[in-house]
Amino acid sequence: MIFQTIDLVQTIADIVAAILTFLNPIVSHMGSWMVSWMDYVLQFFPNNILFYIIISAIIIETGAIVNIAWSGDKKPKFLEKVKKLKKKVEAKIKEAEDKVEEKIAETETKVKKKARKAQKNAKDLEKKADELEERVEEIDTKIKKKKKKEKVKTEKLEEKLDESEEKAEELEESDEETEGFGRELEKAEGKSSKTDID
């Protein structure tokens, strides 16, 4: 009744009551479930108080032993071993990462060297291809010049053949004329010999 005289306490009590009435459907089911669960569990435990006294004494003794063995910031040995194992694993992981990074760097340098060699080889091949093209062009020009010379020679030879054919024809005509003269001479000689005989 004393608290009801203070308005602030009364308003707080009204707020809490409103919250509890609002949550009554949820809280009442939770409370009934907890009661039924605890009744079920208590069926397995005896009603003797000595049992609970023994359990509490065991808990207190284990707590004392734990506080004596690991007092202050001192951690249990198995936790220290776990830390040591973690440190060893981390060190091995760092070593493995360093080795992997070194291998990656080595492979990158090897790849760069091979790429440079390949570029040099490509440049050399391009130069050789250019030189071959120039040689082919030179050979083509030489072949064209030779063909032109051969054409000129063949034309000259054809002209000479034509001239020689014309000369041969002229010689044949002159041979025929000489043969005709020879026959006429023979006839003339034959006639002269006959006249001498007479």
The pLDDT score that the predictor gives to residue 3 is 52
Q: Is residue 70 within 8 Å of residue 76, measured between CB atoms?
A: yes
pLDDT in tens, the chain (198 residues): 555 567 888 889 899 999 988 888 888 888 888 888 888 877 877 777 888 889 899 999 998 888 877 766 666 666 677 778 888 888 899 899 999 999 998 898 899 888 888 888 888 888 888 888 888 888 888 888 888 888 888 888 888 888 888 888 888 777 777 777 777 777 777 666 656 555
- Domain residue extents for the chain: 2-74
The pLDDT score that the predictor gives to residue 49 is 81
Q: Is residue 54 within 8 Å of residue 60, measured between CB atoms?
A: no
Residues 6+ away with beta carbon under 8 Å from 4: 10
The pLDDT score that the predictor gives to residue 198 is 55
**What's the CA gap between 62 and 131, in Å, rounded?**
95
The pLDDT score that the predictor gives to residue 50 is 84
H, E, C per residue of 35-57? HHHHHHHHCCCCCCHHHHHHHHH
Side-chain half-sphere CA neighbours of 80 within 13 A: 6
**What is the residue whose two structure tokens read 């479930």?**
33
**What's the CA gap between 182 and 190, in Å, rounded?**
12
- What does 64-75 look like in DSSP terms, one character per residue? HHHHHHT-TTPP
> Rounded to two decimals, what is the model's pTM?
0.30
